[in-house]
Structure 1
Amino acid sequence: MKKRYFLCAMVLILIACHKKSDQPYSPVTESPQSPMSKQQINEFIRQQLVQKGTFDWKDASDEMVWSALQNSDSLLSVGYQPLGETAVESRVHTININAAAWVNARDQVLDLIYQEEKRHRLYLQKEALEAWKEYNIPVVNVKVSSLKSLQLLRGSSLVRYAEPMGYDPIATFEQRVPAARSLSGGGSGCGGYVANTGLVSGSDYTTILPNAKASWNYAYHNIQNAWLKSTGAGVKIMVIDTGVSPDQENLGTGFNQGQSTNRTVEKIVTLPYETSTIDGCGHGTTMSGVATAPRCTNGNACGVAYNASLVVCRAVNDVFIDGSSEVKGVSDAYVWGANNSSVKIISMSLGRLTSSSQIRDAIQYAYGKGKLMFCAGGTSYNITSWLVGVIFPATLTQVQAVTGIQDKAISTACDDCHKGSQIDFVVVMEKQSTGLHGLSTAVSGNVPTTVGGSSVATATAAGIAALVWSRFPSYSRDQVLNKLTVSASGYPYKSSSFGWGKLNADAATN
């Protein structure tokens, strides 16, 4: 009898163990008394950046991720999947998150969070868990207070990633030395985009018909020669940035003038809680101008693809993607561009130090839809230039990473430009002798401003790509990219710092 009882007990234990192994989470511990400090978290991130060149939250401990939540707004980005699914990222553009299996997985993840969080937040309603709704990619954004909740998620087979949305140390690192340009109440990379009245004709620009200014750096990429074959007509570029100034008519009511005709400009906003597309920073206005400003009659700067159409999206407040709302804004912008069949090229001169799997999902989604994407390799005014090479998301293989160089030698990056093995192309945008940068539209008026860094290089590259796609309208994304690559100055050799080299618009449109 005892033997039979023992055997039965063992069977029950084995069954229980088997069932436990099927649960989508692992053992957990209670929250520590206090989270790690920002200094501790940032030091770990810095070490990872120095050692690896990139930082991914999967390399951090549960306690560190939880501490990052406590040191920010507690919003967690959770990528989910049904049990048994694999390689979701590479086919995210094909997934219907409204299919039963995906809805069930999402509900299980939310229930897992709710069951733990309600122990600490007595009045929590399950319906209030999500900060924002997602309609295209398999991710939920939820506020998490408990370390145990985080551990349950990170140990679950239903969860692809669980990352703090609003924690990135880039702003903290920037504060260690004099800050970047800023408007009153603005952020890094903002301000200063006003008329440059000291520009010299023949040296800093060339006057072209009907009365526009072609930036001095266009000659280094044979852009004016390319204009004899293509002006960007029939191609739509999406610029993801800080919006556009309503006071710059060349990107508004004057978008079609002079030799720029039959094209459209669309202004949208994906930054949560915002409804205005107005650029309070100035950066988005200049990037839009570099890519698509009209070949005008009023003496302003001419964009590279002056007959391309434009979608300018306000997804952030400044050039750092360092808040939860900005992560969501950028993610939604890429999804919007992916789902708009008329958008062929997406340009984004923004970045962050830590990776964001939610943004990566959105970029992969757009890549799967055939979009050609350009991202800035990184621009610093201080510590981040030596702290890290190429910044996220330019580190992703699905995008073309661009940086800026000086006019005298391809081996010399601009004063603030990042470089590294992930760079694909470079654009001349800084005079070595004077430090003068490329021309663009100012936030208002018809006197151009100047703008530097990998930002202007990226928008210029997007404009050159539009010239190529307009010249070969039946081409796929990969065929356009091949044209850009084989005509670049370094091809067939790729530099460990400057990619394939300088883009050549004239050769690429042959």
Structure 2
Amino acid sequence: MRKLQLAVMALLALIVIGCTQDNPLTEETHETDLTSETSQELLTIPQINKIIDEQLRRTGDFSWDKTSDQVLWSATVHGSGILTIGYGKKGESFSAKKNARLTQSKNTIVSEIIKLENTSRNETLFEDDEILNVIDVQVKSLKTITELRKRDDIRYMEPNAYSFFYSEQYPQNRSSSGCGKDGKTLNSNDYRTIAPGSLVSWTYDEHNIEQAWAYSTGAGVTVGLIDTGVSQSQPLLGSNFNDGYSNGRSIQKYGTFIDSPWWWSNNYDGPHDKCGHGTSMGATIASPRNNNNLPVGVAYNCNLVSYRATEDVLLNDYHERKGVKNALRQLANRSDVKIISMSIGYPWSINNVKDAVRYAHSKGKLIFAAGGTSLDFTNWYPVIFPASMSETVAVTGITDDGTYQQCDTCHDGSEIEFTIIMERDSDNSRTGTVLGFYNGNTDYVGGSSVATATTAGIAALVWARYPNWSRSQVLNRMRQSSEFYPNKDSTKGYGNIDALQAVQ
């Protein structure tokens, strides 16, 4: 199975491999560190990673709020001194309009940092979100961390340029997780040809998607895709987006990802995919139905708004996290966008992204997120962020064996709402068929990533069929059209969606 099928969490393997040996900080040392007078020693990256791993294993989650001042400061220093601060009271993720109290709070926090760090405002504050109650500041002093933690108007502080996956043991600042641009020749048993000459993935038949097209093809609905962008070498996701039975629709491409190792860079990398993952997701949702003998998308008449917000599927870079935050905020402000699909993530919450998800949710967006995909010996890991949020709809993939066996690389858990059959039980390399990165190419795509994009496409079919419905009405119809409804399985949610039933 190609790298793309490792999708959202291929690097989760790194958590398991290497985090269990020669711990330089024992559990006893860690507990003492949290309760005794703050140590002035700068922890190393391996030491910080051991503390992260221990909390993950003990609780299934990780939060910087639950670490000592020393740990937070050390991670901030190793992350170029960047500290992301969410200000305001609990639950105040964003401000729909100017709020004098919040503005005063923000300015007071910045002034305190300037005094403690002995710097200027320009040197201290370099990112001030215009909607979210979030700022990025430069911090070097342990005392600054300690003093800020005494305030009651700070919701969180995170070292957003610190990467768990960048260390002496795993020296990669940029990963290629989930990426792959090489096409694959499709097995003839993995598709059917329909008029006027399009290929229907075998996975669609498991959910009655072709039958649903008699009622809806997604026309009039706009889906926002936050991923690695879509390929400029694939005209069917470009100049030929309207082709064959697909017509009267639009595709728009934007970029919020800055391609630079330097936090201060403004070198936006444009809208075009350089990874392959986003192209596969965009094609799954919306590739046209034409006579090119290529795979068709689930909602082949929907509009698509693609954001290159990240370099790959793992949000382990400062610019990736900021890129996703900004993409969410921009899509939230578009009245035409009803659905957002996110087949990207991280092992634990990233709070500025969480704030942006909450803002998009407040605007009525139906947000689908991948439950997580990793190596078969790490898919025990819980549902990842942002699928772990109540404001998103978590999706995972299963095989076609009829027993809801999770796919070889897929995560499941209590947060999962829906499952999609996307992998042959007899051959895990045969997953969903999809349009390739280059013109004329075909490919396979698997994991919870394609399950999420497929579900977003089904949601577009439902919303196009019932254009006056609200988000909750669309989501409830999808639940009611799933196999386990009205019950919910502890790890597979409402189960497989019947797209035909959903649009009838």
TM-score tier by shorter-chain length is 0.7 to 0.9
State the partner residue of 1:411.
404
State the partner residue of 1:111.
111
Which region of structure 1 is more displaced relative to structure 2, 59-68 or 38-47? 38-47
State the partner residue of 1:358.
352
Partner letter of residue 183 of structure 2? A
1:329 to 320, 323, 327: 323
2:419–2:495 contact (8 Å) kept in structure 1: yes
Deviation at 1:354, TM superposition (A): 2.5
Query: In 1, distance between residues paired with 2:90 and 2:86?
Result: 13
1:269 to 246, 255, 264: 255
State whether structure 2 residue 175 is matched by structure 1 residue 200: no
**Aligned pair in 2 of structure 1 residues 364, 410: CA closer, same or farther (>3 Å)?**
farther
Query: In 2, distance between residues paired with 1:60 and 1:257?
Result: 54
Q: Which has the larger radius of gyration?
A: 1
1:31–1:148 contact (8 Å) kept in structure 2: no
State the partner residue of 1:434.
427
Deviation at 1:280, TM superposition (A): 1.0
Residue 69 of structure 1: SS of its match in structure 2? helix
Per-residue deviation, residues 188-210 of structure 1 (Å, max 9, x unmatched): 1112x33222x233x11011111
Deviation at 1:159, TM superposition (A): 0.9
Per-residue deviation, residues 247-293 of structure 1 (Å, max 9, x unmatched): 00110011000100000100001113314112111111111000111
Pairing 1:428-507 to 2, within 5 Å after superposition: 428-435=421-428, 436-507=430-501
State the partner residue of 1:39.
46
1:132–1:141 contact (8 Å) kept in structure 2: yes
Give TM-score scaled by structure 2 length: 0.87
Residue 394 of structure 2: SS of its match in structure 1? strand
Deviation at 1:116, TM superposition (A): 0.9
1:127 to 122, 125, 134: 122
Query: In 2, distance between residues paired with 1:304 and 1:175?
Result: 38
Partner letter of residue 176 of structure 2? G
Query: In 1, distance between residues paired with 2:145 and 2:111?
Result: 13
1:235–1:309 contact (8 Å) kept in structure 2: yes
Query: In 2, distance between residues paired with 1:472 and 1:399?
Result: 21
Deviation at 1:170, TM superposition (A): 4.8
State the partner residue of 1:22.
none
Where does structure 1 differ by over 4 angstroms across 4 or more consecutive aligned residues? 29-33, 170-176
Query: In 2, distance between residues paired with 1:111 and 1:384?
Result: 45
**Aligned pair in 2 of structure 1 residues 171, 302: CA closer, same or farther (>3 Å)?**
farther
Structure 2 unaligned regions, length at least 5: 1-35, 259-266
1:236–1:308 contact (8 Å) kept in structure 2: yes
State whether structure 2 residue 241 is matched by structure 1 residue 255: yes
Partner letter of residue 208 of structure 1? I
Give TM-score scaled by structure 1 length: 0.86
**Aligned pair in 2 of structure 1 residues 58, 40: CA closer, same or farther (>3 Å)?**
same
Partner letter of residue 425 of structure 1? F
**Aligned pair in 2 of structure 1 residues 437, 175: CA closer, same or farther (>3 Å)?**
farther
State the partner residue of 1:221.
207
1:211–1:299 contact (8 Å) kept in structure 2: yes
Deviation at 1:31, TM superposition (A): 7.7
Deviation at 1:128, TM superposition (A): 2.9
Deviation at 1:173, TM superposition (A): 12
Query: In 1, distance between residues paired with 2:394 and 2:90?
Result: 28
Structure 1 unaligned regions, length at least 5: 1-28, 119-123, 180-184
Partner letter of residue 213 of structure 1? L
Partner letter of residue 281 of structure 2? M
State the partner residue of 2:99.
99
1:289–1:302 contact (8 Å) kept in structure 2: yes
Query: In 2, distance between residues paired with 1:108 and 1:332?
Result: 25
2:306 to 312, 315, 340: 312
Query: In 2, distance between residues paired with 1:424 and 1:168?
Result: 29
Greater relative CO, 1 or 2 (CA 8 Å, sep 6+): 2
State the partner residue of 1:190.
179
Query: In 2, distance between residues paired with 1:213 and 1:443?
Result: 16
**Aligned pair in 2 of structure 1 residues 225, 171: CA closer, same or farther (>3 Å)?**
farther
Partner letter of residue 49 of structure 2? N
State the partner residue of 2:7.
none
Partner letter of residue 312 of structure 2? D
Partner letter of residue 132 of structure 1? E
State the partner residue of 2:153.
158
Query: In 2, distance between residues paired with 1:134 and 1:503?
Result: 38
Deviation at 1:330, TM superposition (A): 0.6
Deviation at 1:168, TM superposition (A): 3.9
Query: In 2, distance between residues paired with 1:412 and 1:113?
Result: 52
